[in-house]
Amino acid sequence: MHTSSGTTSKPVASFYSARDLENWSNLTARNLVAIGARKGDIFLNTSSQGVFTGGLGYIQGAQMVGLMVVPLGSASPEKQLEYMRDFGVTVFHAVPSFALRLAETARRLGVAGELKLRLAILGAETWTEAMRSKIEEALGLEAFNNYGFAEACGPGVAVECRVREGLHVWEDHFLLEVVDPKTGEQVGVEEEGELVVTPLTREAMPLLRYRTGDIAKLLDVKSCDCGRTHRKISWIKGRVDDMVKVRGVGLYPSAVERIVASKKECNGHYLIVVRNLDELSLQVEVEDSAVKDSEQLKRLKEQLEKELKKATMLRFNVNLLPPGTLPRSTGKTKRIIDERTWQPHRET
């Protein structure tokens, strides 16, 4: 058994038969091969082999491909980098926010040049292309997105191939639909909606048309240069329940993240706070190098507020913070805090 990470509430348990485990190993093995990992690569998993599916799930797949496995699991970024350097790690798996911490730490310690990293497989959180660029640049590797959830098996539902235009769904194991979260009706290709997944091979825990709560779209792609014929989905835009309504407008943290990640003065850590009367603030950390230049900070604050208004139709009050101010976590990072005691716009 495994459990979900409990993104929205109490974790959900997931159960596996022997054949389910075998199928799951095959799926994470396919993920690793799709991004370009091969026999002889040295694979470090930053996820522990506990109840989180990203732990054992990827270790089983990596062994099947013939990678050498370093099952370090949960440890400080400094310790992860030490293992990566000492054992010549070439591929790692992490949640994106932790990969960003690795990138920051590598830059701070100046050790990126001593690493042999070439690939990272990241997922289980909503992240963006801009965050990917930051991670790739700091660690000198290619990072790929993958999608899954504990109730389906864990990672192994969909993965980016080396073409990097969307994620292939492993359609021989999962039937995927996209529906309007309000009506449950299917929406068209290239239209955003909630992913609904029916596992086709699960034995111990069959599900029918499972509402994932994840927002994405089916892409209008007939064929892919990688040769795979499975349909593709977009990156996950957010969760149905991540979206908060502020002054009647739906706000997804990913819209804010794209803007924060595009600023070289920001280190990628931010927190959105919604207060009473729908007051909206963005707390965002800046890089060490930007802290002392008050002119630069003033300009940055103005730019952020302007771009946020344009992208979200909402007015933000931006607070710039020194690096390391916001809480860090090794699991999933909370990007939005809703402190409103009275929420007239919220739909439940």
According to DSSP, the β-strands at 193-199 and 174-179 are antiparallel
Q: Which is nearest to 52 in space by CA: 328, 330, 241?
A: 330
Q: How far is the CB of 47 from Zn ion (least distance, A)?
A: 25
Give how far Cα 72 sits from Cα of 87, 91, 162, 266, 311, Å.
11, 13, 26, 29, 40
Binding mask 107-126 for Zn ion (x = CB under 5 A): --------------------
Residue from 51, 75, 130, 163 binding Zn ion (CB under 5 A): 163
Only one residue has tokens 């999608």, namely 147
Query: What is the smallest separation between the CB atom of 142 and Zn ion, expressed in angstroms?
Result: 14
Using rule CB under 5 A, residue 228 touches Zn ion? yes
Q: Which helix (H) or strand (E) holds 212?
A: strand 210-216
| Choices 56-64, 138-146, 161-169, 236-244; region in contact with Zn ion by CB under 5 A | 161-169
- Nearer residue to Zn ion within complex by CB, 36 or 71: 36
Which helix (H) or strand (E) element contains residue 253? helix 253-261
Binding range to Zn ion, per CB under 5 A, among 146-154, 186-194, 222-230, 292-300: 222-230
One residue of 42, 161, 216, 256 binding Zn ion per CB under 5 A: 161
Of 211 and 228, the one with the shorter C-beta distance to Zn ion is 228
| DSSP state for residue 209 in the 8-state scheme | S
Of residues 39 and 222, the one with the C-beta less far from Zn ion? 222
Binding residue for Zn ion, selected from 226, 291, 321, 336, defined by CB under 5 A: 226
Give the interface segment with Zn ion, choosing from 129-137, 163-171, 260-268, 326-334 (CB under 5 A).
Answer: 163-171
Residue 125 tokens, joined: 């959180």
Q: Which residues are CB-neighbours of 317 under 8 A, at least 6 positions away?
A: 279, 280, 281, 282, 305
Distance of closest approach, residue 85 Cβ to Zn ion, in angstroms: 32
Query: Quick check: helix, strand or coil at residue 202?
Result: coil
Span of 14-22, 137-145, 214-222, 226-234 interacting with Zn ion by CB under 5 A: 226-234
Q: Hey, CA dihedral for 268, 147, 159, 192, is it positive or negative?
A: negative
Q: Phi/psi of residue 254, each to 5°?
A: -65, -30
Q: Which residues bind Zn ion (CB under 5 A)?
A: 161, 163, 224, 226, 228
